[in-house]
Each structure stands twice: as structure tokens, then as C-alpha cells.
Structure 1
Amino acid sequence: MRTYYVYILTNQNHTMLYIGVTNDLARRVAEHKAGAHEGFTKRYKINKLVYFEESPSVAVAIEREKQLKAGSRAKKLALINELNPYWNELADVGEVGER
């Protein structure tokens, strides 16, 4: 069975948020960190993983991504603060794929 992830990245100052979906969180975060793709995350150096959820269904993961993107910034911040109150870099502490 495949696992899909909805994730939230931020920049160094925590002023910008990016929400995405992937089936390989470690690879995708590494791509963001390397600036491998042109666009919003590369331009604004949004490469710190601060939140993620797992899902067994790509459809459910995409629906959750849409729900998060449609929500207010306050709701996104509350979600991050609930599970990662210190905004630790989850990709660096080995939590990717282990939660």
C-alpha cells in the first residue's frame, strides 16, 4: 500500500507557508531544499518542513490539501502549533515517514 503526504513548508522567518502533496515526502522535501524546481518555494526559500499528515489515498490527500489551502492563515498556524509548537525542522530530526 502506498502512503501519500500533505505537508506544510515555511521559510526561515516563518512568514510564508506552502502546502503540497507527495507520495515520497523525504524526496520532495530534499527537492525543495535543493531548489530543484522553479517557482514559489525556490523564489522565497520556503524549504523548512514544519507539518505533515499521512494518507493511504491520493484522493483523500488532495482533498485535504485543498481544505488546508482554503483555510485561513490562523487555522494553518494553529495546526502547526498543535503538533509542532517550536516549529522544528521535521525533515532534519528523522521524523519524515516515521509518524
Structure 2
Amino acid sequence: MNSHLVYALYSEKFDKIYIGCTSNINARLKRHYYFSNKGFTAKFRPWKLIFLEKQPSKNQH
């Protein structure tokens, strides 16, 4: 069983919070910070990781 991570990002420049979940936090953060050119997180860069919590399954967050 893979564990899942719940995380929150904060954009101080725009005073926005984004909450997401993933099983690979490093790859996911790279997508938010660098690789995504569209969508919510691309609009409000730069982001800072402000919360990270491990969950035993995707359904428990």
C-alpha cells in the first residue's frame, strides 16, 4: 500500500493557498514550481511549501 501526502502551498505575492495530494512530493512540487504552464498554480508563482502530512491512503485526507 502506497502512502499519500497532503500538502499546502502558499503564494505570498498573491496571498493564495493551494492544497493537493500526491504519492511523489518531489515530482509534484517540480510540476507546480517549474513545468506547468497553465492552471491555477502556474498563475500564482512563486509558491512555498507550508504544510506536508503523510496519510495511509488517499481516502483519509
The verdict on a shared fold, with TM-score over 0.5 as the criterion, is yes
- 2:11 match: 11
- 1:58 deviation in Å? 1.1
- 1:46 deviation in Å? 4.9
Residues 37-75 of structure 1: CA distance to partner in whole angstroms, max 9, x if unpaired? 521110111521111110111111xxx2xxxxxxxxxxx
Larger radius of gyration: 1
Q: Relative to total residues, which structure has the larger helix share, 1 or 2?
A: 1
Structure 1, gaps ≥5 residues long: 65-99
Change (3 A) 1:46 1:17: farther
The percentage of counterpart residues that share the same residue type is 30
Aligned length: 61
Q: TM-score, normalised on structure 1?
A: 0.54
Q: Distance in 2 between matches of 1:25 and 1:46?
A: 17
Q: TM-score, normalised on structure 2?
A: 0.83
- 1:31 deviation in Å? 0.8
